Structure 1
Amino acid sequence: MRFPLYIAKRYLKSKSGNNIINLVTILACLGVMAGTTALFIVLSVFSGIKDYSLSILDVDTPDIRISPIQGKTFLVDDTFIQKIQKTPDSIFYTKILEERAFFKNKDKEEIAYIKGVDSLFNKVTPLDSLVMVGEWFAANSTNTCITEYQLTRKLDLNVYTDLLQIYVPKAGKGYISNPNNAFTTIKPQVVGVISNQNQEENKFVYVPLSLSQQLLSKAPNEVSYVDVALRNDINPSNTIEYLKENFPDYRISKREEINGSFYKILNSEKLIAYLVSLLVVMMVLSNTSGTIIMVIVDKKNDIKTLLNLGAPLKSVRRIFATYGFLLNVIGMFVGLGIGITIVFAQLHYELVMITPSIAYPIAFEWENIWVVCITIILFGALASLLASGRISERFVKKR
């Protein structure tokens, strides 16, 4: 292998007597540099978009959720509480009751979800940090609510002055004889409005847990699910394993599973972007194949000499395959250097802005470097092998 590598390095360092060959070689190297830079930046941008999107979800998504496998609610009894308090990691947990409801204010009507939360809710999902008008209701509140901004606009609500009418059908069977008795109604006072960039949160109105249990005719310890947050920024795998062992009749979901569809969309977008960029890279690497073929034609006399000296045809092919490989690797490293510089420049100096206060999201990840290197090396080696395969005894014998 040393012989093909030595000759390939000599060809790469030395100038050809044909200026066109020198120019095409430089252009091929620049093409690999540009393709590498573009691929790395595209992957870094989508990594940044993913991190930005997940940072929005982090505010209202817990680390772990405990929900019933069957049915919509379950009872949080003393045994349940004792088990969850014995988790190996230090945690916060909050009880939540959620149901679809009908909301009305004057002549405005909307269907959304009522979400009853206890006093520890904001320690698990800190939505109180998103309050833009008013304040989050106190722990001892009994008849107050927090509305989302878009829902507040649709219902034309005023903080501290309006009472929001919430209707839920009464449970039961048979025909409704009196429509006035078909619904359970509460009228909590609006004390705050939150602004959340997560579109899923447009459908919730938050009320104290006891008020939602009263509205839905549930027991004081009956909830839809229990959300868990780790107090320290640690891997939740130990806690998840413990909960699955001690709560076999419940569904234990980690953050990625709670928003599974959203994670799939983000990963799919990054995959599509990679495949599109890969097409560009393959076109660039095809130029490398053309360059190798031109070098082979230019070095035809050298090839004859090597074969006459007893060099195997296979070794001669390796010379030009190695030549193309080295050309791609040089372009790859230079392109990566340029791409990394651009990424860090955007991270530190915010060169491109979405709004005057928000920089275009981008992230540096070692995973992206490995993906780029494997892609360029793999497809570059394939292009080089295909081009070097053009060397044959028939080619050498031609005048």
Structure 2
Amino acid sequence: MNLPFFIARKYFLSKRKRNFINVISLLSLGIVAICTAALIIVLSVFNGLEGLLRSLYTAFDPQIKIEATEGKSFIYSSEMASAIKSTEGVDIITEVIEDYAYVRYRDADMVVIIKGVSDNFLDQNRIDSAIVGGELKLHENGLNYAIIGRGVQYTLSIMPGTDVYPLQVHYIKDVKSGSLDPSKLYSRKNILPGSVFAIEKNYDENYIFVPLNFARELLDYGDKRTSLEVKVKDDYKINDVKKELQEKLTAQFKVQNNEEQHADLYKLLNLEKLFVFIAFSFILAIGSINIFFALTMLALDKKKDISVLYAMGASNALIKKIFMAEGAIISLGGAFLGLILGGTICWLQQNYGLISMGMETSVLENYPVRMALNDFIYTSGSIIFITLLISYRPAVIATRYNSASNL
């Protein structure tokens, strides 16, 4: 009388075990999918931030910048000018004098970076789209005009375009100690605020563009320049022109493209992206441990079936392949869903802006996102590696049931 009960109980427990294994498998698939989607989203945000920084720096910084390797400034001779102009691909050469100065407007004052630029600076069209007030100009009717950052405008309460109050610029001279004449300690010149630019907080709060002659007289630089900014013709590659300029100017000068001008920042950003990728890969590995338990329980539950396969001539390699394939189905299935989910969310953010920056003064209204094929490839490769690692041990355990005693 008890025999049917034990048979039914054994069947019920076996069925419950199978259901439990299926639940763990589905849970593992879901965890892998969520972790994969999160990794794709985070990496895409890093790509978007990098693209945003590049666009901001491209608007402010030149395509090629020439500076002295030693010292703050260098003499810009006619021979050097001829050598640069004769370089194939060079379109515009802007002379720059840059230094710190003290400025005062009515009752407000602050320390800024004065950037004196030659008139052809406006021909490079780098900050045209960044002008948020006033009229973009350096000269008009014999008067000098300054292009000020929006942060400087707020600090000094400047109204661009009004000729009532000039901007007073003071520069502390390098004089010998013991001088009793205060007029020899600094130089002073006035300039009218003409326009306001808004690019990035660090630039907006520190920079004022002025005509080159104004800066040269104020700072007493003469033929010296702090840098040269070169615009390349549209049909030429920037790196090719940069390489030729470096060969002509020798080691006394460093010639840098836009990326090299901010090499440390880009390296830091890529390093952060690498650590984020490693951290999420570990999270993905931890989430994939459920696959290990599911395959281990499956090996225990199917030990009789495994013994039958051995009796029919199956080898250890075949049994391992079966369990490795089972792990691959769970893991790669979750990865496929995660890649689609992450890609869809990034696409929606790119086109519809699901998540905003949450700040009125931010450069962009929504979080920048840019998907890259390499991120999908590296993520898939990481998942494949983790799957092989996780599935190998249960596959080895399954090969132990090769005895007829398990039948």
TM-score normalised by length of structure 1: 0.87
1:314-335 superposed Cα distances (whole Å, 9 cap, x missing partner): 4422321232123222222232
SS in 2 for 1:240: helix
SS in 2 for 1:389: helix
In structure 2, relative to structure 1, the CA distance for the partners of 1:289 and 1:229 (3 Å cut) is farther
Aligned pairs, how many?
A: 384
Choose the corresponding residue for 1:231, options 207, 211, 233: 233
Per-residue deviation, 1:374: 1.2
Per-residue deviation, 1:57: 1.8
Could you tell me whether the CA contact under 8 Å between 1:61 and 1:125 is conserved in 2? no
Residue 217 of structure 1 corresponds to: 220
Could you tell me whether the CA contact under 8 Å between 1:90 and 1:232 is conserved in 2? no
SS in 1 for 2:146: strand
In structure 2, relative to structure 1, the CA distance for the partners of 1:157 and 1:232 (3 Å cut) is same
1:191-237 superposed Cα distances (whole Å, 9 cap, x missing partner): 22222324234211111001100111122x42110112233286422
In structure 2, relative to structure 1, the CA distance for the partners of 1:114 and 1:266 (3 Å cut) is same
Per-residue deviation, 1:98: 0.3
Per-residue deviation, 1:259: 1.8
For residues 367 and 234 of structure 1, the distance between their equivalents in structure 2, rounded to whole angstroms, comes to 28
Could you tell me whether the CA contact under 8 Å between 1:88 and 1:238 is conserved in 2? no
Confirm whether residue 387 of structure 1 aligns to residue 397 of structure 2.
no
Per-residue deviation, 1:395: 8.9
Identify which range, 157-166 or 293-302, moves more after superposition. 157-166
Identify which range, 78-87 or 41-50, moves more after superposition. 78-87
In structure 2, relative to structure 1, the CA distance for the partners of 1:16 and 1:322 (3 Å cut) is farther
Q: Within 5 Å, which residues of 2 pair with 1:195-344?
A: 195-219=198-222, 221-232=223-234, 235-248=237-250, 249-344=252-347
1:108-133 superposed Cα distances (whole Å, 9 cap, x missing partner): 22112111011121343622432222
Per-residue deviation, 1:145: 1.6
Could you tell me whether the CA contact under 8 Å between 1:74 and 1:224 is conserved in 2? yes
Residue 374 of structure 1 corresponds to: 381
For residues 397 and 125 of structure 1, the distance between their equivalents in structure 2, rounded to whole angstroms, comes to 82
Could you tell me whether the CA contact under 8 Å between 2:138 and 2:146 is conserved in 1? no
Could you tell me whether the CA contact under 8 Å between 1:57 and 1:198 is conserved in 2? no
Per-residue deviation, 1:104: 1.9
Per-residue deviation, 1:139: 4.7
Could you tell me whether the CA contact under 8 Å between 1:66 and 1:227 is conserved in 2? yes
For residues 341 and 309 of structure 1, the distance between their equivalents in structure 2, rounded to whole angstroms, comes to 47
Could you tell me whether the CA contact under 8 Å between 2:296 and 2:397 is conserved in 1? yes
For residues 377 and 128 of structure 1, the distance between their equivalents in structure 2, rounded to whole angstroms, comes to 49
Confirm whether residue 113 of structure 1 aligns to residue 113 of structure 2.
yes
In structure 2, relative to structure 1, the CA distance for the partners of 1:284 and 1:353 (3 Å cut) is same
Per-residue deviation, 1:250: 0.4
Residue 350 of structure 1 corresponds to: 353
Residue 25 of structure 1 corresponds to: 25
Could you tell me whether the CA contact under 8 Å between 2:285 and 2:386 is conserved in 1? yes
Q: Within 5 Å, which residues of 2 pair with 1:69-80?
A: 69-80=69-80
Could you tell me whether the CA contact under 8 Å between 2:151 and 2:201 is conserved in 1? no
Per-residue deviation, 1:377: 1.0
Per-residue deviation, 1:342: 2.2
SS in 1 for 2:170: strand
Residue 151 of structure 1 corresponds to: 152
For residues 397 and 178 of structure 1, the distance between their equivalents in structure 2, rounded to whole angstroms, comes to 108
Per-residue deviation, 1:32: 1.9
SS in 1 for 2:370: coil
Q: Which consecutive segments of 4 or more residues in structure 1 shift more than 4 A? A: 139-142, 394-399
Q: Which runs of 5+ in 1 are unaligned?
A: 1-14
In structure 2, relative to structure 1, the CA distance for the partners of 1:394 and 1:292 (3 Å cut) is closer
Could you tell me whether the CA contact under 8 Å between 1:36 and 1:372 is conserved in 2? yes
In structure 2, relative to structure 1, the CA distance for the partners of 1:17 and 1:273 (3 Å cut) is closer
Q: Which runs of 5+ in 2 are unaligned?
A: 1-14
Could you tell me whether the CA contact under 8 Å between 1:303 and 1:396 is conserved in 2? no
For residues 324 and 305 of structure 2, the distance between their equivalents in structure 1, rounded to whole angstroms, comes to 16
For residues 28 and 192 of structure 2, the distance between their equivalents in structure 1, rounded to whole angstroms, comes to 69
In structure 2, relative to structure 1, the CA distance for the partners of 1:329 and 1:234 (3 Å cut) is farther
Per-residue deviation, 1:53: 2.6
In structure 2, relative to structure 1, the CA distance for the partners of 1:346 and 1:158 (3 Å cut) is closer
For residues 225 and 396 of structure 2, the distance between their equivalents in structure 1, rounded to whole angstroms, comes to 69
For residues 398 and 327 of structure 1, the distance between their equivalents in structure 2, rounded to whole angstroms, comes to 31
Choose the corresponding residue for 2:184, options 157, 170, 181: 181
1:31-71 superposed Cα distances (whole Å, 9 cap, x missing partner): 22222222111211221122123222221021211000111
For residues 47 and 405 of structure 2, the distance between their equivalents in structure 1, rounded to whole angstroms, comes to 53
SS in 2 for 1:319: helix
SS in 2 for 1:18: helix
The residue identity in structure 1 corresponding to 2:122 is N
The residue identity in structure 1 corresponding to 2:184 is N
C-alpha RMSD of the superposition: 2.6
For residues 176 and 201 of structure 1, the distance between their equivalents in structure 2, rounded to whole angstroms, comes to 36
Could you tell me whether the CA contact under 8 Å between 1:147 and 1:194 is conserved in 2? yes
